[in-house]
Amino acid sequence: MTDPILEVEALTKHYPIRQGIVFGRVVGTVRAVDGITFRLDRGETLALVGESGCGKSTTARLVLRLIDPTSGTVRFDGADITDLAGEQLRKLRRRMQIVFQDPFASLNPRMTVGEILEEPLIVHAIGTRTERRARVNELLGLVGLAPYHAQRYPHEFSGGQRQRVGIARALAVEPGLIVCDEPVSALDVSIQAQVVNLLKDLQARLGLSYLFIAHDLAVVKHMADRVAVMYLGQIVEIARKDDLFRDPRHPYTRTLLAAIPRPDPHRDTHRQIPGGDVPSPMNPPPGCRFHTRCPFVIDRCRIEMPALMRWSDGHLTACHRAADLPATDETTASHVAPVAARRLALYAERRAAATAATG
Ligand code: ADP
Ligand code: MG
């Protein structure tokens, strides 16, 4: 049984592009987020991955109701929050928080860490002054910092420590959902694992749900329960993490996986990255948005946009060719062949189910 904390349906954000300074006429539209649907269960981590500019941060802002959607709905804890405003929206802010990529830019340099951590408690009128001070110490402990760090300023910390402060600030008001927008992308590789482990540890202790945004799949490997892959404002694949890494069913997901550097020197390091630039979200290709870069393109892909289809094992893919893609890696064909056979069986099942439903 699933217990969603967050349900997003057909969520869309279009930005009009105006020409002229004051009352410029609209000359185009950026389709930053274009009809995405997903859910996040309580206590779960859903990773949202995709190249820069595909709409990940816009999705984060929409979910947190920091910006208004063009259309679609966001449900949090079973309630529709799409149109909340004023006091109701302010109350909602206690229950969902964000951790940003760059803690240096998001922490006020003129405030001590103690003041930074106390601020959300003051804003939401939580506790007396003494209680708030105790809570600040508790928060520092939770993220592996010491009480004396409260007197320091953000510039006195290393990148990893600053991100710990950013996480402590998000935790201050005891939210159920934390949106992490590329929380380790700006950190040294050696520090990334520490912050990822801290987030996992906090999740286990506090029962948090995470929407975890990253631009490459390597980072989500140890973090996510499920992964949603975005391309040009749309979701092209959603699957449990292990299924996605073992049996990617969208050509774009395969290119993201192929781009992860491998340590094995005997392996062919030739990367299967498709040619061509990422098209602009102002003028996305018709049909399947990935067709201009897809090695498996057929005529249908240029005309008809594929819907996100559910396989009988729960895996979701938006690709006309998902059922007949060749094995992922020829060198491991003996391992992959059963996977491909299983996929064909699933596809047959799905078609049978569709026929039963319509017939
Ligand atoms: P990501 O986080 O995946 O890198 P973003 O969500 O930041 O992507 O941006 C998605 C697209 O929307 C980009 O093309 C970006 O330029 C555009 N965009 C984001 N915010 C705005 C805005 N306020 N006005 C116009 N375009 C925007
Ligand atoms: Mg972003």
- By alpha-carbon position, which residue is closest to atom 7 of ligand 1? 57
Which pLDDT belongs to residue 76? 97
Is residue 231 within 8 A of residue 54, CB to CB? The reply is yes
From the list 261, 200, 213, 202, the residue with the least C-alpha distance to 62 is: 213
From the CA of 182, give the closest atom in ligand 1.
2
The domain over range 1-359 is classified in CATH as 3.90.320.10:
no
Q: What is the DSSP letter of 73?
A: E
Instruction: Report, as ranges of residue numbers, the positions in the chain whose pLDDT lies below 50.
Output: 268-272, 330-337, 355-359
Q: Which ligand is nearest to the CA of 59?
A: 1
Ligand 1 centroid to residue 226 C-alpha, Å:
24
- By alpha-carbon position, which residue is closest to atom 5 of ligand 1? 55
- By alpha-carbon position, which residue is closest to atom 24 of ligand 1? 15
Q: What is the DSSP letter of 290?
A: T
Which pLDDT belongs to residue 218? 86
- Testing ligand 1's pocket by substitution, the residue of 11, 15, 180 carrying the most ligand atoms inside 8 A of its CB is 15
At 142-163, the pLDDT tens digits run 999 999 999 999 999 999 999 9
Pocket of ligand 1 (CB under 6 A): 15, 30, 32, 52-58, 281
From the CA of 67, give the closest atom in ligand 1.
23
Q: Which ligand is nearest to the CA of 48?
A: 1
Q: What is the sign, positive or negative, of the torsion defined by CA atoms of 74, 75, 76, 79?
A: positive
Is residue 97 within 8 A of residue 179, CB to CB? The reply is yes
From the CA of 15, give the closest atom in ligand 1.
25
- Testing ligand 1's pocket by substitution, the residue of 30, 180, 185, 283 carrying the most ligand atoms inside 8 A of its CB is 30
| Amino acid identity at 106 | S
Q: Which ligand is nearest to the CA of 67?
A: 1
Ligand 1 centroid to residue 55 C-alpha, Å:
6
Which pLDDT belongs to residue 65? 96
- 199: exposed, middle or buried (C-beta count within 10 Å: 0-12, 13-18, 19+)? buried
Q: How far apart are CA 26 and CA 16, in angstroms?
A: 6
Q: Say how many C-beta atoms besides its own lie within 10 A of residue 271's C-beta.
A: 11
Which pLDDT belongs to residue 349? 59
CA 183 to chain centre: 11
Ligand 2 centroid to residue 126 C-alpha, Å:
31
Q: What is the DSSP letter of 182?
A: S
- Testing ligand 1's pocket by substitution, the residue of 51, 58, 236 carrying the most ligand atoms inside 8 A of its CB is 58
